[in-house]
Structure 1
Amino acid sequence: MRDYLRQLKKIRLSPDIILFDLFKTILVFLIATSFALCVVEMNVISNNIFGVYMLGVALTSVITSGFIWGILASIGGVIAVNFFFTFPYFALNFSMAGYPITFALLLIMSVLTSALTTRVKKAAILSAMRESRAENLTKMSNALLSGNTLHKIMEITVDFFSQSNQCSVVTYLGNPASPEIKLIKALQNQDESIFNSPLELQIAIDAYVKNKIRGVVLEAKVQNCKGTYIPISTDNKVYGVIGLLFENADFVLSDTFQFSRIMISQTILALERQAVEEKAQQILLEQEKEKMRSNLLRAVSHDLRTPLTCILGASTTLLENKDKINEEKFDCLLNDIHHDAQWLIHMVENLLSITKISSEDAKVKKQEEIVEEIVSESVSRIHKRFPDATIYVSVPDEILMVPMDATLIEQVLINLLENAIRHSETSLPVWLKVSRENDEAVFCVTDYGKGIDPSSLPTIFEGKSSTVSADSSRGLGIGLSICKTIILAHNGKISAANHVCGGATFTFVLPMKGEF
């Protein structure tokens, strides 16, 4: 496209090439004259010597920047024929009878030849430019299909506008006064400062508000304004504004802005498609949240009922029969109350954790944490609840730094370790192993107990209780649902499986930026 614009610029007589075109015109004239003198001397051509100069005129029109040089070559050819090849030789004589009319006709023929040659040349260049534009439009359409964010769509738009029109480009998504996205691609160092000037910004805002093209256009010019601003809009909605800054507005093609409208329509289609996809994603997200809420409610109602019933029953027994209960039984009931109260506290902690990341506006606040410290804190808290449990820990020698919310990841580890201790139904140790695989930190909690019912594996993280026994407080229920929610909020993965040695392994993976 740049080559075509350069050729078209030459056709329009740019001052920087006038001397070069003059040199080429003189050179062709000298070659044509020398050739004509040679062929006349050899008696090859005698009466139609002007045909040689006609050929020179056509050649001049092709290799120079416009028909002006062809006209000069035509005049030079007429004079040369009169001077070199018409009696009296080597003298100018336009007074012979009928001679002025003959030479005038020859001059008109050469001028028409020059103009026609120039027009054909210009038409060929414009045709090639339009073909290149059509190719760029196809490439732009294909590129926009890969744009999966608004920022990416606007980046593609800026790049193709700049390539197609060979100009600097600015794009605003939204009102230029406070745009959602603003991108600039400057071909000249000063173009970015021009786009950021108050005058240019005001013209861009005016184009957005009035939904009309503003700035330097082919019909008129705005005083002191250097850019042209085209709204990215449909009949009933304005998405933003795109600004074009040409090196020389005089060389802008008449159909540039019409073609820009076609390119803008491609951008609008991409923006609307992205809006539809985001809405669909939002609907899926809401459905997932609703599913999680229902699972959470079901798990809470199921898992809280039994410990509360046990607390109520034990406390009622103590109140009504305190004089009839021996000391051993009394302590046993108190221990049951204490145990179920601890379970309820743990359940509340889980509920607070999931509430922290489940609200619409909440986001997990991550910072680099040392994995070994998180593991140590989690194991320490588990030992306070289960002092008799044996937990083996394996961590790599290297220091792993992982972006995370430390409190939430500790909650995940505590939930998994507690489930392994409570539900494995074995006194064998529980293993907590941390390793690194590429740019991910892998956490594995393994027990060697009875394992997981294979039928429960597909839905084990859905917040459904794993048992319907009377001891519902011992069910997995809400804990694993919370683990999944926390890990997904960290852009990680979590899974569960039975292993061949007996027992179950829960694994979750967190992305890491690297080690420090």
Structure 2
Amino acid sequence: MKSNKSLSARLFPFSWRDLVISAGILLCALELCILLQMGDTSDGFASPIFVLAVLLVSRLTSGYLYGLIASVTGVICVNYVFTSPYWAFNFTLSGYPLTFLTFLAVSVITSTLTTQIKQQERLRAEGEKEKMRANLLRSVSHDIRTPLTSIVGATSTLLENPGLSAEEQQTLLKDARDDAQWLIRVVENLLSITRMGDTQAHITKQPEAAEEVLGEAVRKFRKRFPGITVEVRAPEKLLLVPMDPILVEQVLSNLLENAALHGIHTTHITLSVRPDGDHARFSVRDNGGGIPAKVLPTLFDGGLKHSETSAGDGKRNMGLGLSVCLAIVRAHGGTMEANNLSEGAEFSFRLPLA
């Protein structure tokens, strides 16, 4: 019994939105036919118009309910209003059963195709989510395991070797602190993913001054990387962008940090924002060594490690940070891209202004 109700709900779902769409399309078809009837006394124009109306209703609504209702409504209108004798039913008309079957066939076929397309889109979206979860899990397992091993090693060395010099102790403590800060940023990224949830409905956007968000991200970055100069470019006119400022600030912080850690001797970063049509374009440029061409197509999949961009030890995995950046930007309805410049690389993303 429960499965039958579930099947019925999927095939014939009720929705006020679909009801309004159906009513609007049928009213437009009715008005168009009335206008044509006023200028032409011949019959026959109403059937193709209502067939088109049934097609649109079936395509733009969910399930079969509204397509079937549109089919019955179309047949009634064609027979009662736009076929002689007017304003009267005549079921003896030649071809009437064929007309009725045509309307029903258009409705059922279109509804079936629409349902299949929506199901395929839903499966594809779920597949992308699972892929992103797998990439995040793979990145997290690497990002957390290596710093924890380093922290344990540094603290064990301090405990087991009390005779170490003050300079050696400071070096070990500094390494342990840096790894702990890295873990904190990993946790912040994970909390952002959890906070966003699976849909855009979890993002609370409100107009924010873009230059203020840039300034806060730069302020935090300069504390960690005082040796790298940052140039901020913003339009003179106040640019208000609908966003969650905390999440967008995290995107900028991740991109700034990636430029510093993976840019290969980056000494200067340009952070900018400007209007770009009906979007705001944020950009992070560095003067480092750029991104290897072979990893550009999969850059946001969570697989790029430090060892692929420099001669380092490979423990700083930028995959998680970029995956989080892409997830946040998409949740805002924006797009993100990366490319190499003549000197260095550029990461940019666009957020809708509306």
Scaled to the shorter chain, the TM-score interval is 0.7 to 0.9
Bigger relative contact order, structure 1 or 2 (CA pairs below 8 A, ≥6 apart): 2
Question: Is 1:508 matched with 2:344?
Answer: no
Residue 257 of structure 2 aligns to a residue whose secondary structure is helix
Give the root-mean-square deviation of aligned CA atoms: 3.6
- Please, which of 274, 292, 306 is the counterpart of residue 146 of structure 2? 306
Alignment match, 2:53: 140
Cα shift readout 1:182-210 (whole Å, capped 9, x = no counterpart)? xxxxxxxxxxxxxxxxxxxxxxxxxxxxx
CA distance 1:149–1:398, change in 2 (3 Å): farther
Partners in 2 of 1:3 and 1:334 — Cα distance? Answer: 84
Residue 301 of structure 2 aligns to a residue whose secondary structure is coil
Structure 2 stretches lacking a partner, 5+ long: 1-32
CA distance 1:132–1:286, change in 2 (3 Å): same
Give 1:328-347 correspondences, 5 Å limit.
Answer: 328-347=167-186
Partners in 1 of 2:328 and 2:105 — Cα distance? Answer: 42
Partners in 1 of 2:51 and 2:161 — Cα distance? Answer: 87
CA distance 1:402–1:269, change in 2 (3 Å): farther
- Please, which of 253, 276, 292 is the counterpart of residue 414 of structure 1? 253
- Please, which of 263, 269, 272 is the counterpart of residue 112 of structure 2? 272
Give the C-alpha shift of residue 403 in structure 1.
1.6
Residue 315 of structure 2 aligns to a residue whose secondary structure is helix
Cα shift readout 1:21-52 (whole Å, capped 9, x = no counterpart)? xxxxxxxxxxxxxxxxxxxxxxxxxxxxxxxx
Cα shift readout 1:244-297 (whole Å, capped 9, x = no counterpart)? x99xxx923234997667545534443333222221111001111111111111
Partners in 1 of 2:106 and 2:298 — Cα distance? Answer: 44
Is the 8 Å Cα contact of residues 306 and 472 (structure 1) preserved in structure 2? no
Residue 473 of structure 1 aligns to a residue whose secondary structure is coil
- Please, which of 316, 329, 343 is the counterpart of residue 474 of structure 1? 316
Alignment match, 2:14: none
CA distance 1:164–1:365, change in 2 (3 Å): farther
State, as a whole percentage, how many aligned pairs show the same letter.
Answer: 37
Is the 8 Å Cα contact of residues 221 and 253 (structure 2) preserved in structure 1? yes
Structure 1 stretches lacking a partner, 5+ long: 8-124, 168-217, 219-244
Partners in 2 of 1:461 and 1:278 — Cα distance? Answer: 26
Partners in 2 of 1:486 and 1:357 — Cα distance? Answer: 8
Partners in 2 of 1:361 and 1:143 — Cα distance? Answer: 27
Partners in 1 of 2:208 and 2:154 — Cα distance? Answer: 43
Partners in 1 of 2:197 and 2:315 — Cα distance? Answer: 24
Q: How many residues align?
A: 310
Query: What amino acid sits opposite 2:34 in the alignment?
Result: R
Alignment match, 1:252: 88
**TM-score of the superposed pair, with normalisation by structure 2:** 0.76
Give 1:373-412 correspondences, 5 Å limit.
Answer: 373-412=212-251
Give the C-alpha shift of residue 354 in structure 1.
1.7
Is the 8 Å Cα contact of residues 306 and 471 (structure 1) preserved in structure 2? no
Give the C-alpha shift of residue 442 in structure 1.
0.6
Alignment match, 2:77: 165
Question: Is 1:2 matched with 2:30?
Answer: no
**TM-score of the superposed pair, with normalisation by structure 1:** 0.54
Partners in 2 of 1:320 and 1:504 — Cα distance? Answer: 44
CA distance 1:261–1:318, change in 2 (3 Å): same
CA distance 1:2–1:423, change in 2 (3 Å): closer
CA distance 1:2–1:431, change in 2 (3 Å): closer
Structure 1 window deviating more from structure 2 (372-381 vs 340-349): it is 372-381
